[in-house]
Amino acid sequence: MKKIIGIGNALVDVLIKLDSDHFLNEFNLPKGSMQLVEKDFVHMLTLATKHSNPQLTSGGSAANTIHGLARLGMQASYIGKVGDDDFGKIFTDDLIKNKISPVLLKSENETGRAMTLISPDSERTFATYLGAAVELGAADLKPEYFDGFDLLHLEGYLVFNHDLVNKAIELAKLKGLQIAIDLASFNVVDLNKDFLVKTIKESVDIVFANEEEAKSLTGEEPEKALYTISTMSKIAVVKVGSKGSMVKRGNEIVKVGAIKANAIDTTGAGDLYASGFLYGLSQEWPLEKCAWLGSLTAGKVVETIGAKIPDNGWNEILENLK
């Protein structure tokens, strides 16, 4: 597994630090969740938070993971849909800058945005306007997009579009790719449980879930959930926050703690964990070392605002790899 392609909702993250969780209650946004919202709601949030000096950065779960893999030195590509606007340019330029091969289809609608609301305890809540991203459909995918790749990484947010996920998996399997999926959010799993269980059992090789997502999928606490998910896929990964992660492959089980980190924003922690873990697998490392690198990349991203590790953080990670 040397080359990875991701597919997901191409979004620009709008990062907003909150003074208190009262704001979430005011807008009826469950803390830690991802809510799909309309353009008018995003405009309302934008007005209500303009005093907070929001930061803009390219985002979307799979894009964050692919970005991390590219920074680790892997050949990577990304499929998504953006608008012909300033937000679309921000997204496209970021992929190119980081040596990611873009397969970005264009829409007449605005580029999607993820309003990332960061609580004082570093938990993040998303109000996501999909915009152009939601227009990516099964008919947009072509077999040649998957030529030469070894693994397809899917973000869980895509499972609202069953046809798209099925087509992506069909074309990837046709080309001999392995399939990885990150479950993305507990409420996404709740709304698509039957489809996810069927898809994972039939087609997915690697599943990433945090403890809430794992419970939504299986109804079980983390350790039991790990066992259940491992009966559906070749590799099951359950992340348990500050306690680290658990991984099961066949009869092999490893538990790896989190690294010490000065967490100021958990945005992208799961996405960057997947970057580190998948890079380790690409190098045929033992599972324990894969999970260690996942913990390291996740630990570095929580020390900054947003889902991108700054250059000094990557320098530390690459020094650790040596």
Instruction: Set out the domains of the chain in order of their start, with CATH numbers.
Output: 3-321 (3.40.1190.20)
Q: What is the pLDDT of residue 267?
A: 76
* pTM reported for the whole predicted model: 0.90
Q: Is 58 helix (H, G, I), strand (E, B) or coil?
A: strand
- Give dist(CA 150, CA 257) in Å, integer: 29
- Give dist(CA 95, CA 80) in Å, integer: 11
Q: What is the pLDDT of residue 1?
A: 63
Mean pLDDT by 10 residues, the chain (322 residues): 92 90 93 88 89 85 96 96 93 93 94 91 87 95 97 95 97 97 92 96 97 96 96 97 94 93 82 97 96 95 85 90 82
Cα-flanking dihedrals φ and ψ of residue 112, to 5°?
-70, 155
Ranges of beta strands (E only) in the chain are 3-7, 11-17, 34-36, 55-59, 75-83, 100-107, 112-118, 124-129, 151-155, 178-182, 206-210, 235-239, 245-249, 252-256
- Helix or strand holding residue 202 (H, E): helix 193-203
Q: What is the pLDDT of residue 308?
A: 87
Is residue 13 within 8 Å of residue 84, measured between CB atoms?
no
* Cα 129 to chain centroid, rounded: 16
